[in-house]
Amino acid sequence: MEFDNTKHLLNFDEMDSKHREFVDIYNSKKGEDIQDYKNVMIQILQHTKIHFCHEEDLMLTHKYPRLREHSDEHKKVLYEMEYFIKGSNTRIGKNILKSYYTQGLPSWFDTHLLSMDSDLSSFLSTKNL
C-alpha cells in the first residue's frame, strides 16, 4: 500500500500524519508467515484505536454534524480488525486474516479517506485549525 498524495492527502496535517503512519505500519510486514500478518495487524489495531480516539475528540469538540456515522464506521473497522486477529488461529482464519490484510484493509483505507475523512477535514478547515 502506498500513501498517494493525489487521493489520500487531506491537507489537514494531523490526519495526514496519522494516515502516513498507518501506511508505514502496514508496509512494515517483512515475511509471509501468518504470524507476520498477525503482528502487523496488532500494531495497526493499536495505532488505529489511538487515531480514532483523537479524531472523535476533534469531532466532538467542533460539533461535527456527521459524528455518529463516522464514529460508527470507526467501531465497525475496529471490530473487524479484532475479529480477524482473534480468528487467525485456525487454517481458515489464517487465510481470512491474510485476505483482509491484503485486500480488505487497503480498500477500506482508500474508501474511508476519500469519503468520511475528506468530509471531516473539509469541515475542520472551516474552523481554522
Give the pTM.
0.93
Helix runs in the chain, H state only: 5-8, 13-26, 34-61, 67-86, 91-99, 105-112, 118-125
Count CB neighbours of 115 within 10 A.
Answer: 12
The answer to whether the Cα torsion of 51, 113, 9, 1 is positive or negative is: positive
- What is the rounded CA–CA span in Å between residue 48 and residue 44? 6
Average the pLDDT over 68-89 and give the result: 97
Q: What confidence category does residue 128 fall into, taking pLDDT thresholds of 50, 70 and 90? A: confident
**Segment 1-55, tens digit of pLDDT:** 999 999 999 999 999 999 999 999 999 999 999 999 999 999 999 999 999 999 9
CA distances 13 to 97, 99, 124, Å, are 31, 31, 11
Residue indicated by cell numbers 498477525: 38
Average the pLDDT over 57-68 and give the result: 97
